[in-house]
Amino acid sequence: MESELKTLNPNPAQIQPTQRSPPVDDNLTKDDRPLLKPEPVPPGPTQNPATTTAPDIEELEKKYAAYVRRDVYGVMGRGDLPWVEKLLLGLALVTLVPLRLVSGLTVLVLYYFICRICTAFLAPNREDEQEDYAHMGGWRRAVIVQTGRFCSRALLFIFGFYWISETHRDIVDVSFNGKFGTQTESKDQSQDSARPGVIVSNHVSYLDILYHMSSSFPSFVAKRSVAKLPLVGLISKCLGCVYVQRESKSSDFKGVSGIVNDRIKEAHQDKNAPMMMLFPEGTTTNGDFLLPFKTGAFLAKAPVLPVILRYPYQRFSPAWDSISGVRHVFFLLCQFVNYMEVTKLPVYHPSQQEKDDPRLYAENVRRLMAHEGGLVLSDIGLAEKRVYHAALNGVFCQQ
């Protein structure tokens, strides 16, 4: 399930890695091209991956530092491992991996049947050409949310995240952002005005989704095909996912951006409405950087709840970058223990100037998250990520 959706320049070679890509207004459009498959790069300022050599990779890693893996397993998870690491992998392969696979599938199937029972004899909400069960109330919704949070945390436990460190900041300094004073959890505001409309988080791994499901069970943005997947499809409808639909069947279809804005406003005004969750970076990083934010989460002018995720590691980095999904899952399941640190900032209430300028609003929240989370601001984006991945594939194809 992918929650970051945006427009991509179709020619990555024309984008300089040291320059910021122009802002994209429709940040909820997804490019389906796979990140880890070689694709031809036209001649230009970027080297052809087929002729990229190992020494060139060091230069690429400096330019695309936000996407570089620096764990024991090396770039793309294909590094030369010491014999001790190979021994640990072999031991985990015959013990941890089978146990975790069976346990994880059991939890997934169990929750699927819970969702199936709770939605029995009910028609999904089909407003704006969407399809979800998130707006139903009563005991059905309560069971889906509570068991969903429990099962999500159980999956994280199965994956080795036995303890998750959570820090709640009641007050943060925003004076560095050009604003006066601080952002606090004000007790003077009414509950309605203090309630955020959307959760915004940095994006490091698909594990981010499991954490947010276990914490607040929000709605995400996903491709339309997710709704048709076995098991996961029904669960995504119970989450209230907003599905991307490239072609509209009705002349008054407002588009994904309009639906998300309405959902954010609804969540801000109604405590019973499902909360939206967006990753404004639009793609994953190695966890040490923060990419430019898209404006989709900030167009509704509602308060946002910033959440910062970090994955400290010793051997394997849970960050999903420059490594295939199958290889990543295998190495993750082979780790005896994994770590996650979460920092929740106070609800960020935009000033009138920020409400009038979504780009300013997005940039101020981004700088605040980088400041509080110790993250490095980066100006590159998904297009540069594709260039880096294409170059890596060119090198490893030669070996």
For residue 302, pLDDT over 80 is answered with: yes
Q: Where are any strands of DSSP class E within 194-346?
A: 198-201, 221-223, 242-244, 276-278, 289-290, 304-310, 340-344
Mean pLDDT confidence for 287-306: 95
Residue 319 DSSP SS3: coil
Domains of the chain, by residue range, sit at: 54-170+194-246+253-397
Percent of the chain with pLDDT over 70: 76
In whole angstroms, what is the distance from residue 218 CA to residue 266 CA?
A: 13
User: pLDDT band at residue 134, thresholds of 50, 70 and 90?
Assistant: confident
The pLDDT assigned to 398 comes to 55
Q: Rounded to an integer, what distance in angstroms lies between the CA atom of residue 182 and that of residue 179?
A: 8
Q: Which residue has the higher pLDDT, 23 or 146?
A: 146
Residue 281: pLDDT over 80 = yes
Span 341-376, pLDDT tens digits: 999 999 999 999 999 999 999 999 999 999 999 999
Q: What is the pTM for the complete model shown?
A: 0.81
Strands 340-344 and 164-168, bridge-based pairing: parallel
pLDDT digits (tens, 9 = 90+) for 79-104: 888 999 999 999 999 999 999 999 99
- Residue-wise pLDDT for 30-60, tens only, equals 444 444 444 444 444 444 444 445 556 778 8
